Amino acid sequence: MKRVLLMAGALLGARPAAAQTPPAKAPEVAVFAGGCFWGVEAVFEHTRGVMSAVSGYAGGTVRSPSYEEVSDGTTGHAESVRVTYDPGQISYRQLLEIFFLVAHDPTQLDRQGPDIGSQYRSAVFYRDEGQRRAAEEMVAQLTARHMWAGKIVTAIEPLRAFYPAESYHQHYLTRHPDQPYIVFNDLPKLDRLKQLYPSVYRDPGVD
């Protein structure tokens, strides 16, 4: 992690820019999976240029799965976050950088911290070939720069469907900032976002 702190921001030649951006374009969508969706959602809710972040499920075969079904690890879904953003303020490539360097540890296979199972896998669900190429290039660049000590195991998969999670999962960190899981696992991610990318960190986050 110390290496990430030292090298982040230099990766793309500059940190994501928040001020003096071009006029807003049509909103675009990105979908990421990186362990429990509470923390990933919170990171993007506090990223300037993000219009909404929704916790949900992607990558599986069951339509409209419940949290209990996904938690059993039998549906093929991963806990995921759908990020709607303004490309005039932040790019997909910059969101990828934040996903890989802030939102989770991409070297953990089928788990994230205390959460174990394929439903907690690291994945980028691409919506078109441009997103697929950007994700592959990001993994190659991070690997070449040895940003993580271990091998990046993030799956790059086509997005076939996204199902929003139950309402009690949405904005979970904002609603439960003192919950022990949040305090130990997710609040440090917001600190890391603020430290690595102060130009895009915002507080409070988007609703």
pLDDT (tens digit, 9 = 90+) per residue, 47-99? 999 999 999 999 999 999 999 999 999 999 999 999 999 999 999 999 999 99
What residues contact residue 94 under an 8 Å CB cut-off, 6+ apart? 12, 16, 200
DSSP H helices, the chain, are 2-7, 37-45, 67-71, 92-98, 129-144, 172-175, 180-181, 187-196
**pTM of the predicted protein model:** 0.91
In the chain, what are the domains? 2-10+26-196 (3.30.1060.10)
Which tokens in the block code for residue 93? Answer: 């490539």
The closest alpha carbon to 35, from 123, 127, 138, 94, belongs to: 123
Per-residue confidence at 2, pLDDT binned at 50, 70, 90?
A: very low
**Residue found under tokens 């992607």:** 58
- Among 8, 11, 33, 36, the active-site one is 36
* Mean pLDDT in residue range 178-183: 97
The yes-or-no answer on residue 201 being catalytic is no
Per-residue confidence at 184, pLDDT binned at 50, 70, 90?
A: very high
pLDDT(197) > 50: yes
